[in-house]
Amino acid sequence: MGTLFKLIADSALIAKDPDDYTECQVCGGAVPVYGAKGQLANPPDPQDPDGDIEVYAACAPCILSGRVDQLDQSIRATIRGACSNPGSARSAEAALNRTPMGVPLFMQGRDWPVCCDAPTEFLGSPPSFDALLAFTESSREWSHGLGAPSTDFAQTGPPEGLRDVSFFECTSCRLRYFIFQPT
């Protein structure tokens, strides 16, 4: 389990480049900041409800406080579909909302494997094609849910980029998952 963010392994966590993002867009606090894509929950000016702030980067305390509403309808539907009851879906949504966005890359939209009624932990992308083959052969493919396995890299060869593939592990039962989103 990640030290800073439970759902992202420390080795897979990537902070925003401090040359591009010099402060937290929510609190103005110091770097490092992480990808946090969404609307600022509870906009600071209640007189101006249209003044929602679009956030791209926030510091760890702001992300962990859930101040940025990061979950779109599609990912909420994915989580609800994978959880066994509304209570666990709510806590799974809350846990994922308190996790930086931007790692994994997810060029085709947000997705996240859910197992044992909770979001799994993101472990990173494969460092090599051999590592990719080893991991995908011992894990299940996820695409907004568990479907029939469709990607066999032993047949197709390497993806265009290794970051197109993301590895996850359930922190309860240790089952492993991968998501393949070609760029």
* Site residues, Zn ion (CB under 5 A): 24, 26-27, 29, 59, 62, 115-116, 170, 172-173, 175
DSSP string of 157-177, one letter each residue: ---S-GGGEEEEE-TTT--EE
Q: Which is nearer to Zn ion, 28 or 46 (CB)?
A: 28
Phi, psi of 30 (to 5 degrees): -75, 160
Q: How far is the CB of 29 from Zn ion (least distance, A)?
A: 4
Angle between the 73-82 and 86-97 helix axes, to the nearest 10 degrees?
A: 140
As a whole number of angstroms, the distance between CA 159 and CA 68 comes to 33
Q: Which is nearer to Zn ion, 31 or 175 (CB)?
A: 175
Q: How far is the CB of 66 from Zn ion (least distance, A)?
A: 12
Q: How far is the CB of 183 from Zn ion (least distance, A)?
A: 29
Q: Which is nearer to Zn ion, 1 or 173 (CB)?
A: 173
